[in-house]
């Protein structure tokens, strides 16, 4: 790592930042550029949080240790901020869903419908098809959100069982926002995202985070738990990006998360599947297979690397579960946190909210602007 390990942590800091992922690293950089001294700690042995990536030692393929991270944003501010720390390689993510042994474009578009039903819809006729199959519903949950747009058959083929595997809840038990963020296409666009900016860091995410944290006013300590710093580090403000319920020793109970178990496989073939990600909504215990060799900059070798994702309840907290009862519990912790003016919770686990990468950066930029530009 390029960080100065000999730099002492006995000095006073303006900020102690817990977590070296998107929220913590973005905040640290902003604070340092405003002239503040920052200590960033992380309990893991690497920076970049769940976006951490590395080159596989025998194949030379770059893999994402905690699942695929595909950068996309419509925010020029976020794009320009991160572009200070990396060059980019253009990449537009495409996904297929395996239905009854055949692959279909996902999100659902004209080609999905035509391949599935043997029809010949065009952009002029597809809306009439959707109108003919959708059901009028009061939208109370994710099932309502999908069926009211594409009807029951497409819902059951692409969404219902995938959701059950991912969340251990049926769509009817999940907040409507989970499914509302998945688009429905009335054209032939088979890109998973349609954002203005879509790319991958040219040298990987870890390198981008290294550049972000490479500032003379930032000190980084890995393999360091927050509790190990109590009474040993002097700081004015604490920025916490971990689980808010854990910080308060689960005073009101534990917030539930979904985790993922990854099963990796090296195969002696150039490619195993036509796109980087194939979803398996109805078959097998895993939800998707990711083939990282599809990422730009991958070597032209005779091997490829796959990872299968098995959602589970136990393990590292990946996904806050969007259920009304969980939000009520989170609000208890949020109210408690507001009693401490020098304590700041930012990020997916700290705010118990699903954020895409760019939204975490945007949230952090806005939070720093609101709370610290004038104060400091």
Query: Same domain for 113 and 174?
Result: yes
In terms of C-beta density within 10 A (0-12 exposed, 13-18 middle, 19 or more buried), how is residue 173 classed? middle
Does the residue 304 lie in any domain? Answer: no
In which residue ranges of the chain is pLDDT below 50? 1-7, 375-376
Query: Same domain for 226 and 348?
Result: yes
Query: Same domain for 212 and 327?
Result: yes
Q: What is the pLDDT of residue 368?
A: 97
Give the C-alpha separation, 63 to 47, whole Å: 15
Does the residue 102 lie in any domain? Answer: no
pLDDT in tens, 350-366: 999 999 999 999 999 99
CATH number at residue 361: 3.40.50.720
Does the residue 135 lie in any domain? Answer: yes
The pTM assigned to this predicted structure is 0.94
Q: What is the pLDDT of residue 4?
A: 42
What's the gap between Cα 112 and its chain centre?
26
Asked if 192 and 107 touch (Cβ cutoff 8 Å), the reply is: yes
Does the residue 145 lie in any domain? Answer: yes
- Phi (first) and psi of residue 108, to 5 degrees: -60, 130
Does the residue 94 lie in any domain? Answer: no
| SS3 at position 110 | helix
- Phi (first) and psi of residue 165, to 5 degrees: -65, -45
Asked if 190 and 111 touch (Cβ cutoff 8 Å), the reply is: yes
Which is nearest to 190 in space by CA: 85, 86, 111? 111
> What pairing do the DSSP bridges indicate for beta strands 197-201 and 102-106?
unpaired
Q: What is the pLDDT of residue 181?
A: 85
Q: What is the pLDDT of residue 370?
A: 93
Query: Same domain for 83 and 112?
Result: no
Provide the angle, in degrees to the nearest 10, between the axes of the packed helices 126-133 and 142-155: 110
Q: How many residues does the chain have?
A: 376
Query: Same domain for 342 and 212?
Result: yes
Give the C-alpha separation, 204 to 187, whole Å: 32
Number of domains in the chain: 2
What's the gap between Cα 162 and its chain centre?
18
Query: Same domain for 44 and 18?
Result: yes
Does the residue 292 lie in any domain? Answer: no
Range of the structural domain that residue 211 is part of? 13-87+198-255+320-371
Q: Which two tokens stand for residue 106?
A: 């996902």
DSSP string spanning 192-211? S---SEEEEETT-HHHHHHH
């Amino acid at each position: 790592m390029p960080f100065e390990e000999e730099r002492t942590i006995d000095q006073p800091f303006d900020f102690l930042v817990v977590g070296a992922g998107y929220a913590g690293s973005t905040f640290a950089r902003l604070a340092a550029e405003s002239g503040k001294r920052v200590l960033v700690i992380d309990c893991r042995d690497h920076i970049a949080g769940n976006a951490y990536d590395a080159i596989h030692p025998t194949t030379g393929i770059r893999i994402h240790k905690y699942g695929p991270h595909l950068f996309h944003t419509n925010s020029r501010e976020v794009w320009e901020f991160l572009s200070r720390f990396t060059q980019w390689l253009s990449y537009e993510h495409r996904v297929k869903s395996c239905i009854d042994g055949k692959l279909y474009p996902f999100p659902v578009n004209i080609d999905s419908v035509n391949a599935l039903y043997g029809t010949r819809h065009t952009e002029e006729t597809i809306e009439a098809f959707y109108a003919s199959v959708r059901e009028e519903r009061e939208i109370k949950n994710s099932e309502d959100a999908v069926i009211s747009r594409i009807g029951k058959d497409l819902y059951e083929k692409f969404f219902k069982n995938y959701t059950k595997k991912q969340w251990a809840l049926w769509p009817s038990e999940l907040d409507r926002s989970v499914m509302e963020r998945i688009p429905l296409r009335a054209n032939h666009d088979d890109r998973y995202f349609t954002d203005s900016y879509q790319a991958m860091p040219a040298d990987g995410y870890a390198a981008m985070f290294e550049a972000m944290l490479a500032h003379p006013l930032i000190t980084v300590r890995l393999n360091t738990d927050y509790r190990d710093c109590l009474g040993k580090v002097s700081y004015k403000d604490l920025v916490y990006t971990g689980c808010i319920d854990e910080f308060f020793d689960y005073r009101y109970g534990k917030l539930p998360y979904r985790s993922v178990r990854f099963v990796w496989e090296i195969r002696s073939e150039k490619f195993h599947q036509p796109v980087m990600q194939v979803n398996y909504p109805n078959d097998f215990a895993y939800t998707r297979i990711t083939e990282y060799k599809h990422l730009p900059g991958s070597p032209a070798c005779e091997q490829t690397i796959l990872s299968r994702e098995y959602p589970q309840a136990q393990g590292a907290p990946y996904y806050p579960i969007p259920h009304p009862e969980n939000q009520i519990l989170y609000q208890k912790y949020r109210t408690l946190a507001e009693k401490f003016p020098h304590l700041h919770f930012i990020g997916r686990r700290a705010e118990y909210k699903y954020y895409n990468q760019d939204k975490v950066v945007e949230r952090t930029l806005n939070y720093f602007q609101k709370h610290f530009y004038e104060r400091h």
